[in-house]
Amino acid sequence: MPQHRFLCRDALERPGASRLRRPGPDDGAYLLFTSGSTGAPKGVPLRHANVMAYLRATTARYQPTPDDRFTQLFDLTFDLSVHDMFLCWGAGAALYCPSDAARMAPQEFVRRHDLTFWFSVPSTATYMQRLRILRPGLFPSLRWSLFCGEALPRRIAEAWAAAAPNSTVENLYGPTEATIAITAYRLPADPDAAAQLPDIVPIGRPFPGQAAIVIDAEGTPAPMGEAGKLCLGGSQVAEGYWRRPDLTAERFLPPQGTDPGMGWYRTGDRVRETAEHGLVFLGRMDRQVKINGHRVELQEVEAALGRAAASDCVAALAWPLDAGGLARGIVAFVGRDDMPAEAILEACRRMLPPYMVPSQIRPLSDWPVNDHGKADYKRLRQLLE
Ligand code: AMP
């Protein structure tokens, strides 16, 4: 691979190895792949300038010091791991990596090391709450409790605030295309005020220097309080997808009337802007779902299922949903009953990352279609209820 240069320990110890070129703001920092609705993952290249904009904003906001101790709960394929590592190391703080066993319910790990910065998907807190681990006063050492990556249910945020009473709880929001997180909402310290929030904690306002606009179906700015599509702009926004000019033109199209010099990204998230809370998350415009914080385009699962079952009659649905309507897994319907479900699942496992593999296959001899001859998702969903 001539375009890659591997630097192993021996090479670094050799004289002159330290003369690596310092990257400039336009150099690539990382390329992350995220689920694609056309059936193949899409790459998002982020530049050093994007990452530095994020790190400057969060360093100013959270003021980490060399005395801080951070959690490192995110897999390196998730951009939230960039926050863990570089916000921490930039301040000279210490990063604590849990074992695989401690990753899902890391309460002992946080307590043993007196960690001060928590950062996870809300699912981790939901899981701890379900196991009745999240007791009031559990985490006295935490001073920041940050959540990101999927909707944060208010009841989970409230339980966490009681469990980490010396910390400030924030809900961060952002797609990979806008570098880690680009808006944040701070939970009120007063429990009575927190209890008044919507069931899903708002996503707040963009970081200083970044922009968010809500547009209506015509592409013009939606009035305050009206639901619309969220577009993000500013120095955190990527320039486009890797080698996908078609998709880049569609999703990185600046909204009407905005500064053409600024990068914009159309998120596909439905939101409403309110004077009190800033942006309130209402769900997706498309079939993208979050499974334990992992971004999944159900069409990508269906493309793999179609190949696995050698059939066009396949459908993937987010199921089950928890009490707040958030997805916990994927169920697949296949319009043939002459192939063992395990064989289909095995083929899916070879094509998809573990979190995208359906938890069960439901074979159907009678495939429900709508007036356009396409899979009737409404009827399929009824079969689950
Ligand atoms: P990813 O690119 O994996 O970070 O996924 C980005 C998507 O995750 C966003 O477009 C949202 O749909 C969802 N998301 C991220 N953070 C939040 C949040 N705090 N609340 C609701 N949805 C979120």
CATH code at 335?
3.30.300.30
Q: Is the peptide bond before 320 cis (omega within 30 degrees of 0)?
A: yes
240 and 154 fall within a common domain: yes
The CA–CA distances, whole Å, from 189 to 133, 153, 193 equal: 22, 16, 8
Residue 309 banded pLDDT, cuts 50, 70, 90: very high
Q: Judge contact between 237 and 261, C-beta under 8 A.
A: no
Residue 11 banded pLDDT, cuts 50, 70, 90: confident
**What is the number of structural domains in the chain?**
2
Tell whether ligand 1 has an atom less than 6 A from the beta carbon of residue 34.
Answer: yes
Separation of 150 CA from ligand 1 center, angstroms? 5
The one-letter amino acid code at 243 reads R
Residue 227 region, left (φ>0) first, then alpha (ψ -120 to 50), else beta? beta
Q: Judge contact between 33 and 297, C-beta under 8 A.
A: no
Both ends of the chain: CA-CA distance in Å?
Answer: 51
Tell whether ligand 1 has an atom less than 6 A from the beta carbon of residue 171.
Answer: yes
Tell me which of 285, 301, 336 is where a domain ends. 285
Average pLDDT over residues 308-322: 94
Tell whether ligand 1 has an atom less than 6 A from the beta carbon of residue 271.
Answer: no
Q: Which two tokens stand for residue 379?
A: 């009827």
Q: What percentage of the chain reaches a pLDDT higher than 90?
A: 85
For residue 79, the ligand 1 atom closest to its alpha carbon is: 4
CA distance 382 to 385: 5
Q: Is 14 exposed, middle or buried (0-12, 13-18, 19+ CB in 10 A)?
A: exposed
Helix or strand or coil: residue 42? strand
Tell whether ligand 1 has an atom less than 6 A from the beta carbon of residue 295.
Answer: yes
Which mutation among 173, 270, 300 tests ligand 1's pocket best, with the greatest number of atoms within 8 A of CB? 173
Residue 2 banded pLDDT, cuts 50, 70, 90: low
Tell whether ligand 1 has an atom less than 6 A from the beta carbon of residue 290.
Answer: yes
310 domain residue, yes or no = yes
Which range of residues forms the domain containing residue 142? 24-285
Residue 18 banded pLDDT, cuts 50, 70, 90: low
CA distance 63 to 53: 15
258 and 358 fall within a common domain: no
79 and 118 fall within a common domain: yes
CA distance 254 to 262: 8
Query: Degrees (nearest 5) of the Cα angle 182, 49, 204?
Result: 10
Tell whether ligand 1 has an atom less than 6 A from the beta carbon of residue 149.
Answer: yes
Tell me which of 243, 266, 285 is where a domain ends. 285
* pLDDT at residue 1 is higher than 60: no
272 and 372 fall within a common domain: no
Which residue has a Cα nearest atom 23 of ligand 1? 150
270 and 375 fall within a common domain: no
| pTM of this structure | 0.92
For residue 147, the ligand 1 atom closest to its alpha carbon is: 19
State the average pLDDT for the chain: 94
143 and 281 fall within a common domain: yes
Residue 39 banded pLDDT, cuts 50, 70, 90: confident
Tell whether ligand 1 has an atom less than 6 A from the beta carbon of residue 151.
Answer: yes
Query: Degrees (nearest 5) of the Cα angle 215, 221, 222?
Result: 75
- pLDDT for 318-358, tens place per residue? 999 887 778 899 999 999 999 999 999 999 999 999 999 99
Residue 73 DSSP one-character state: -
Q: Judge contact between 82 and 116, C-beta under 8 A.
A: no
Tell whether ligand 1 has an atom less than 6 A from the beta carbon of residue 266.
Answer: no
Q: Judge contact between 285 and 229, C-beta under 8 A.
A: yes
CATH code at position 271: 3.40.50.12780
